[in-house]
Structure 1
C-alpha cells in the first residue's frame, strides 16, 4: 500500500511539490542568513517525495527561536492551508489516505526546526 500511495502521490503533484520545495530551499540557501530556512525546505521536499510510510517526530522546544520565526513568517498559514486541504480531500472516502498525508504536512509546517522525518516500518 505504501508503494502504491507514494506512486499516486508523485503522479498527482508530489513530484512537482518536491521540486518547488527544493527550489525554495536553494533560494534560501543563497544567503547565509537563509540557510536554516533552506534546510527546512529540503525537509519538506524529502517528505513530498514519499509521505506514505514516513513519520514526523516533532520537538518544539528544540530551536525555539527558529520555530517562532518560521511560525510567524510561514508556518501558521501553511498549517492552515494543509489542514483545510486535508479536510477537503478526506470528504471523499477514497481520499482519506491522502488527507492524512496533508495533516502530516500541517504538523511539520508548524514546527519544522527540530522535527525528524523518519521511515516507519
Structure 2
C-alpha cells in the first residue's frame, strides 16, 4: 500500500516538491556558509519525493545552535518551501483521492519551517 501511495504522491506533487527542496539546497550550497542547511534541505527533499513509510522525529541532542540555524533557515528559504507545501495541499484537498496527500503536505510544513534538529526514519 505504501508503494502505491508513494507512486501517486510522486505523480501528483512529490516531484515538484522535490524540485523546490533541491532548489533550496542548491542555493544554500552556493552561499557556502549555509552548507549545513543545504544538506538538511537535500535530505528532506529526498524524503518529500517518497514520504510514505517514513516519519520525521526530533533529535534530542539538537540544542541552541539548531534553534539559531532554524531561525536563519526560515528567513532564507523555509517560508517559501513551506508555502509550496501549503499551495500544493489546497488543490489536493479538493478531491477525495487527494485528501491523504493534502494531509501529508500539511504534515511537512513544520519540517519545511524548522528542518534542523530532525531526522527521517523508517516507520518499521
User: Same fold, TM exceeding 0.5?
Assistant: yes
CA-to-partner distance for each residue in 1:42-66, whole Å, 9 max, x for gaps? 1222112211122111359631110
> Quick check: 1:116 aligned with 2:119?
yes
- Normalised to the residue count of structure 1, the TM-score between the two structures is 0.79
Q: How many corresponding residue pairs?
A: 121
Match of 1:83 among 70, 86, 91: 86
- Quote the RMSD (CA, aligned, Å): 2.5
What is the 5 A alignment of 1:43-58? 43-58=43-58
For 1:22 and 1:11, how far apart are their aligned partners in 2? 17
Q: Which runs of 5+ in 1 are unaligned?
A: none
- Normalised to the residue count of structure 2, the TM-score between the two structures is 0.78
Secondary structure at the aligned position of 2:98 is classed as: helix
- Answer whether contact 1:56 1:104 (CA < 8 A) is retained: no
Secondary structure at the aligned position of 2:115 is classed as: coil
